[in-house]
Structure 1
Amino acid sequence: MSRWYDKHPNLKKQLDEFKEMHQKVREPIIKEIIDLVKKHDLSLLSYEKAFEFPFDCNRRRWYDNDPHLWLMFNILEVADEALLHSVEDYLENRAKVVA
C-alpha cells in the first residue's frame, strides 16, 4: 500500500520517525511544522479544511491515534511541493542539531 509521502524518500524517513517518538519530543516539532504551514498557507489550517480530512473511527493509520499528528499528516498530504520541501528542510536541519 502506497502512502502519499512515499514519493518523497527523505520526508518519508523523517515522518516515519514520529511513529516511535515520545510525545514530549514530538509536540514541539509538530508545533514548528504547523508554524511553517501558517507562514506558507494559512488556509490549510481553516475549520472548513479540517472537515475534508479523513477520520477513521477505527484508527487504522498509526498517526490517527494522536490528534496533533493526525492534523499534521492530513495538512501535509494536501500541501504543495514548496511546503513539503520546507518541512523536509526543517526536519533535516533539526536532525543535524540533535545529532
Structure 2
Amino acid sequence: MRTLYHRKHDALLEALTTHFPSSAKVIGAGSGLHVLLQPGNGMDEAELVRAAENTGVKVYPTSVYALSPEWALPATVLLGFGGLAEEEIRTGVKLLAKAFGGSDREMS
C-alpha cells in the first residue's frame, strides 16, 4: 500500500508542477493522502471550491478547520488523492488548472 500511495502522491505533485505556475504553493507534500493548494490566482476560497465543482473536481475548503476566521489560511483548498487512480489525479489537476486560470498545456 505504501508503494501505491507513494506513486499517487508523486503523480499529484508532478501534475501540480506541470499545470500550475511557480506562484502556486503546495503545502504538506509528503504528509499523508492529501495536500493543500494555494493557487495564488486572486480567487477566494469559495470561488476556488465553486470553480473546481463546475469542472467536476471535488476540492475542500480549509477555512472550516481554523479555530477562528482570522487564523484561516488565505484561499487554500485541500486536494485528496487516496481513492483516485494515477490517471484520475492527472486529469483532475489539469481540470483544476483550467478552472483556476492556470496552464492548459498537455502533460508529457
TM-score by length of 2: 0.37
Higher strand proportion (structure 1 or 2): 2
> Which structure has greater helix proportion?
1
